[in-house]
Structure 1
Amino acid sequence: MRKLFSIIGLFVSCLLAAQEEEWRVIPSVREWLEEINNWPDSVYRQDNLHVFFDYEKDTGLIATTFEETDSLPSEPLFIVNKPVRVSGLNFAGDRKGPGTMPRRLTSIQFNGWLTISRMAQNRAGFVGCVFKDDMSMWDIQSRNVLQFVDCDFEKSLHLYGPQENMGFYIANTSIKEDLIITSGNTDAGIRILNSDLSQFFVNGKFTQFRMDSTNVRYGMRLSNVTISNSFQLQNTSLPALELIGTDFPELHTYIPFHNIENALALDLPIGWDRDQDLVKYKAESKEEIMDTQRFDNLIASYYTLLEVYKSRGELTSYNACYIEMRDKVTARSKLLYNQDPSFTNFFAYQINRFTRAFSDYGTRPEKAIIVFFQVVLAFSIFYFFFPSSWNTTNNRTMMRRLSYLGSYFTSKEGLSDLFEKEAKEDYKDYEEFHQFISSSEKRLPIYFQWLSKPLYRVSVSRFNLSRRLLASGDILKGEWDQLPKAKQVRTSILIGLYLVIYLIYVLIIRCLNAITLSLNAFSTLGFGEIPTRGLARYVTIIQGFVGWFLLSIFLVSLIGQILN
């Protein structure tokens, strides 16, 4: 008897469950929409609806292919005036038509909020629809792809908990407030193209994420998101991006940093009042920078991106991301120094400033080379006024040359005669050498003669050639004050040009000597004896230290770029 009652009780409970899960059939979409508008209550609430597509009654309200949506009307064909809450909704094809085609609602305007849970549909979607209030979907059981194309959301769109592996496709759609997509343990996918969003919140596990040519006005928040296959952010600039607990695929992640420059942030709110400013943490103000916990979390977001760029070899994005991160660290080191002016904090702050100016924190070794040349040039200007012993065009030499030139004007001696006086000591050495070779001809080996005589002839030939050239170019030939007035003017101009050329030559030689000394000191090659005196000797030592320091930093940054 007890078994009989148990069997009856089980049968009754199954019968009640079957009745509870019984789905009500509505023959067409138009009849369903009219039922909503004619519903006696202020809110349309129904469970387990099975709505068929009737290709005759539902003309303009349904589509199974995108070709049918190419020429949508500019105004909605049907307006739903009441808020809608449906738990359990399935769209089915016309009994006369194919049963597996996609089912999309088109050209419908929903004036009230729309909430759908347990939507079981293959390739469902909304095309060319207008939503005046919030729309939310829960426990989505749609297989394949849930689509929103050419839609306009005056408020928000929330998509929660797909129950099967499916995809969300949003294209050419405007969402005035927040877009929220969450996924549980399923592997859903997200694809957003050519859309206009306000703020985007993502949470959960997804196989792929792609956003292309989309305008995001406030920001995107990825909270505890795991992407297993691919993540792509193309032609989309974000004013704010939060990455908290986000796990990107190692090799199939593409986030050009120029799209998210100065965008990394924390604490992006969801569902804010759009009339208020978006409150977020970007480590910009003094108070934000000194918030250690949030500052460290923000730096961790930068490191998440750096690992992505490094694994893919995207050097440009890596460097830009690293510079932006180090700029924030430098700003914090400055505040720490102001708060506690110890030597450690001072050194940390100054080394950050220096590496930023010198090579952008080691990311641009070529910038360091420019600094090298600037330092060498600056020291060269100093050495120009403190010539070294390498300089043969010193003040004494110039005074001697001007003295010879004055003698040229005031005496009857020609240029060749003055040249002989100036080169008298050198010529005397040639003659002494020649006399020695001639007197010792029989006492020296023959090869000594072979080497010495050509050397003497070449030296004397150069001397004689210079003297003949000067003699042929002598334009004064007498004392200058005894020349006719016209010839005085012509002679003064020609010799003045010679003097200008000589001064230019002297300046060039002194500049080259100053640059050579500066390069030698900067590169710390060593001199043996430092070829300068006085203050310049100590300056070369200082420059040697500066050069050693800068070259060391340059090598570190260069090696770092090679390793990266």
Structure 2
Amino acid sequence: MRFIGLLLLSLLALNCLAQKEEIEFKEYSYTEFFQMIEEETDSVFRLENAIIKYGDPKDSLFFLTQLGTEKIFHREDTIVVTKEVRLENVLFSNSVPDSLSNPSGGKGRLRSTLYQIRFLEEVWLKNCDLLSVDRCVFDKLLNVKYDDKYPDVKDQWIQSGFASWNDIKNSTFYGGVDYSSFTNEYINTNWGLISCVIHPAKDGLGNSFWYRKQNNFWITDCTFLGEGPLFIRAWEGDQLNIDRNQFGKQQVSMQIGTEGPIQRIEISQNNFDNIILMTLPVLKEDDNVDWDQFRNGIVNRDAYILFYNYITFYKLGSIEDFIPDEDDLFSTKNIDYYFNTARIKDAKVNRDEMKLLGKLYNHYRLQHAAKFANGVFIEMKDLETANLAYIYQENPTFDSFFQWKINQFLKLFADYGTRPSKAIVFAVYVIAFFALIYLFFPNSWDAHGRTRIMDRYRFFLKYLNRDEGASEVYQEEKEKELLPFHEFREVLEREGKTAPKFFYATALPLYKWSVSGSRLSGWFLSKIDVLNGKWSEVPEKGKFFKSALVIGAFIIALIYDLFIKVLNAVMLSINTFTTLGFGEIPIKGLPRYLAIIQGFIGWFMLTIFSVSLISQLLN
């Protein structure tokens, strides 16, 4: 047994020494590298364990350098690579002479090593550092892989005095991208796409980005075309950035931080035109995941896959006997069914979806991002409302019906209490609707009621057919209304002089003030009177002008009457809605019963408005 143990230890030691064995790198200049590709007789160019570095004056043709804001292009044409390229453990150095950075002297900053190159066939990179790539075109798939051998390659690379920052900018991928890091060790590198256009992968498997044990990974300002799937998986690293991208109809599946912590997550300002499948860790305060980019919906990726497996592999059946598309996990048919049916009707799926939304809601509350928190809360309540509708459908009781309808009302009235302003707008609609009804029915607040407009016609017809002017006709119309005041004046004249002067002195101004409005109106009418007699006696020469004035005055008076009538209806509606009446409903007929209904609606809506407002203030 002791011998076997020693033998195992020896084998383990030999294995460790083998792992630490240094790789022998061959060095080539950029000119030599591209010359080897051109001279390759096979359709595939292969290269392993090499360093591509500046070593020939002609190498400047492959560089783009920058001095401050000035870019220096060393060639204008595009290099076309016609062969398939397969590289393993190949490292591209950006160490260049100062004369290349600035031919006129001084130092510049290298911007990219591979510039304006078109690859007509597939490009396979395994454990390679590209450094920067700018304005290149990949007609077929770009396949980038890292495995457990890469850290050893990387260590030798760093010990040689080189450092890498892998990014691809302003490039187009017609065959898609497959980026995968399978290493279990921290690979200490950075990789990303900036301002690129990515077409769907032609193999039908979709574009894929698997980030694992890495410093930083980013996809920024990129445009993804077509409707093929896109997979993004990020496990352990310093920073993940997915921001300002246009994803179009891509079916995006994100699995973030499930096997190790990511120090900072930035998923923001993207445009997703499809439902997003996402798995998220517990987010930290400095993580940013914008809610408004998920306007087409977001679902729990893990819950979706588990549900799919149950109804396909285990044949456990599903709601409404759904037959899934077993050939394509991420098909539109499967995801639409899950989003519109399964997460509403399946209790476990519904709970898992609530967990994802709750995680985002708590994160936004932690960040004090009220707008995003409210958006997630509305989504949670919408899902709850849909689930309540299904519960009522399965078990129709008053309680389930009430919960369902109260949720619908809260959504319509105040977005579940997140928008008190919406309640005010809705209240205005209710007040206007009932005011329109009250407009066609008499109420005690309108003294003239239905006869208001007819009284106006009567006044003008009398004015046009009598010798008296508008002031006299008006005083006559008001006589019955002023009679109590005239009687008061007679009593004052008859008996006030035999009483203490105080009564006469104070009562006379009261009388004058009571009739002042009618006298002022009469005085105004006497000043604007244009007829001075009957209409029939007006000479033909001035008849048109005076008729225009009279008709204009009539229209103005009619508009005033209509305004007063509308105002009375609106005030009655507001009074009823706010329940500020004095117990007596100032209207008769059918609207009297509608007023009771409006009062109940107003009480209910104002209560919810108050609660919504207080909730927002507390938040």
TM-score (norm: length of structure 2): 0.69
2:210 to 161, 169, 181: 181
Matched residue, 2:298: 264
2:167 to 138, 141, 148: 148
Instruction: Using the TM superposition, give the Cα deviation of residue 523 of structure 1 relative to its aligned residue in structure 2, in angstroms.
Output: 0.6
Pairing 1:360–2:415 present: yes
How far apart, in 2, do the equivalents of 1:196 and 1:132 lie? Answer: 16
1:515 to 562, 565, 570: 570
The answer as to whether partners of 2:242 and 2:267 remain within 8 angstroms in 1 is yes
1:563 and 1:383, CA in 2 relative to 1: closer, same or farther beyond 3 A?
A: same
Pairing 1:540–2:595 present: yes
Secondary structure of 2:435 counterpart? helix
Pairing 1:136–2:145 present: yes
How far apart, in 1, do the equivalents of 2:94 and 2:550 lie? Answer: 106
Matched residue, 2:309: none
1:204 to 231, 235, 246: 235
Instruction: Using the TM superposition, give the Cα deviation of residue 521 of structure 1 relative to its aligned residue in structure 2, in angstroms.
Output: 0.4
How far apart, in 1, do the equivalents of 2:291 and 2:507 lie? Answer: 73
Instruction: Using the TM superposition, give the Cα deviation of residue 536 of structure 1 relative to its aligned residue in structure 2, in angstroms.
Output: 3.1
Matched residue, 2:179: 157
Matched residue, 1:281: 335
For structure 2, list consecutive stretches of 5 or more residues without a partner in the other structure: 99-109, 202-206, 306-325
Matched residue, 1:248: 283
The aligned runs of 1:192-341 (5 Å cut-off) are 192-197=219-224, 199-216=230-247, 218-225=250-257, 226-234=261-269, 236-237=271-272, 239-253=274-288, 255=290, 257=292, 259-267=293-301, 277=331, 281=335, 283-287=338-342, 289-341=344-396
Instruction: Using the TM superposition, give the Cα deviation of residue 138 of structure 1 relative to its aligned residue in structure 2, in angstroms.
Output: 1.6
Matched residue, 2:315: none
The answer as to whether partners of 2:94 and 2:113 remain within 8 angstroms in 1 is no
Pairing 1:456–2:511 present: yes
1:539 and 1:59, CA in 2 relative to 1: closer, same or farther beyond 3 A?
A: same
For structure 1, list consecutive stretches of 5 or more residues without a partner in the other structure: none
How far apart, in 2, do the equivalents of 1:72 and 1:508 lie? Answer: 78
1:458 and 1:18, CA in 2 relative to 1: closer, same or farther beyond 3 A?
A: closer
Secondary structure of 2:393 counterpart? helix
Letter in 2 for 1:204: W
Secondary structure of 1:423 counterpart? helix
Moved more, 31-40 or 359-368: 31-40
Instruction: Using the TM superposition, give the Cα deviation of residue 76 of structure 1 relative to its aligned residue in structure 2, in angstroms.
Output: 4.1
Instruction: Using the TM superposition, give the Cα deviation of residue 545 of structure 1 relative to its aligned residue in structure 2, in angstroms.
Output: 0.5
Letter in 2 for 1:116: K
Secondary structure of 1:27 counterpart? strand
The answer as to whether partners of 1:323 and 1:360 remain within 8 angstroms in 2 is yes
Instruction: Using the TM superposition, give the Cα deviation of residue 356 of structure 1 relative to its aligned residue in structure 2, in angstroms.
Output: 3.1
How far apart, in 1, do the equivalents of 2:51 and 2:462 lie? Answer: 118
Q: CA RMSD in A?
A: 5.1
Pairing 1:55–2:55 present: yes
Matched residue, 2:318: none
Matched residue, 2:104: none
Pairing 1:169–2:203 present: no
Matched residue, 2:316: none
The answer as to whether partners of 1:190 and 1:208 remain within 8 angstroms in 2 is yes
Pairing 1:191–2:200 present: no
Instruction: Using the TM superposition, give the Cα deviation of residue 124 of structure 1 relative to its aligned residue in structure 2, in angstroms.
Output: 4.3
Moved more, 327-336 or 272-281: 272-281
The answer as to whether partners of 1:196 and 1:216 remain within 8 angstroms in 2 is yes
Secondary structure of 1:168 counterpart? strand
Secondary structure of 1:246 counterpart? coil
The answer as to whether partners of 1:145 and 1:169 remain within 8 angstroms in 2 is no
Instruction: Using the TM superposition, give the Cα deviation of residue 72 of structure 1 relative to its aligned residue in structure 2, in angstroms.
Output: 6.5
Instruction: Using the TM superposition, give the Cα deviation of residue 435 of structure 1 relative to its aligned residue in structure 2, in angstroms.
Output: 3.4
Moved more, 315-324 or 69-78: 69-78
The answer as to whether partners of 1:209 and 1:230 remain within 8 angstroms in 2 is yes
Secondary structure of 1:281 counterpart? helix
1:347 to 367, 389, 402: 402
Matched residue, 1:114: 124
1:10 and 1:380, CA in 2 relative to 1: closer, same or farther beyond 3 A?
A: closer
How far apart, in 1, do the equivalents of 2:146 and 2:118 lie? Answer: 17
The Cα offsets for residues 476-526 of structure 1, whole Å up to 9 and x where unpaired, read as 757x88x58969988988776666555444333222211111110001112
1:200 and 1:215, CA in 2 relative to 1: closer, same or farther beyond 3 A?
A: farther
Secondary structure of 1:183 counterpart? strand
The Cα offsets for residues 172-222 of structure 1, whole Å up to 9 and x where unpaired, read as 4455432322324x6x21122343456241231232222344343524433
Secondary structure of 2:298 counterpart? coil
Higher-Rg member (1/2): 1
How far apart, in 1, do the equivalents of 2:16 and 2:600 lie? Answer: 91
How far apart, in 2, do the equivalents of 1:561 and 1:311 lie? Answer: 16
Identity of aligned residues (%): 23
The Cα offsets for residues 379-425 of structure 1, whole Å up to 9 and x where unpaired, read as 11222232222221135677777777777778877763773475156
How far apart, in 2, do the equivalents of 1:528 and 1:244 lie? Answer: 59
Matched residue, 1:560: 615
The aligned runs of 1:81-100 (5 Å cut-off) are 81=84, 83=86, 86=88
Letter in 1 for 2:186: Q
Secondary structure of 1:352 counterpart? helix
The answer as to whether partners of 2:485 and 2:515 remain within 8 angstroms in 1 is no
The aligned runs of 1:421-436 (5 Å cut-off) are 422-423=478-479, 426-427=482-483, 429-433=485-489, 435-436=491-492
How far apart, in 2, do the equivalents of 1:544 and 1:262 lie? Answer: 39
Matched residue, 1:21: 21
Moved more, 446-455 or 58-67: 58-67
How far apart, in 2, do the equivalents of 1:538 and 1:15 lie? Answer: 92
Secondary structure of 2:268 counterpart? strand
Instruction: Using the TM superposition, give the Cα deviation of residue 265 of structure 1 relative to its aligned residue in structure 2, in angstroms.
Output: 3.3
1:369 and 1:465, CA in 2 relative to 1: closer, same or farther beyond 3 A?
A: closer
Secondary structure of 1:207 counterpart? strand
Letter in 2 for 1:246: P
Letter in 1 for 2:254: L
How far apart, in 1, do the equivalents of 2:488 and 2:617 lie? Answer: 62
Letter in 1 for 2:124: L
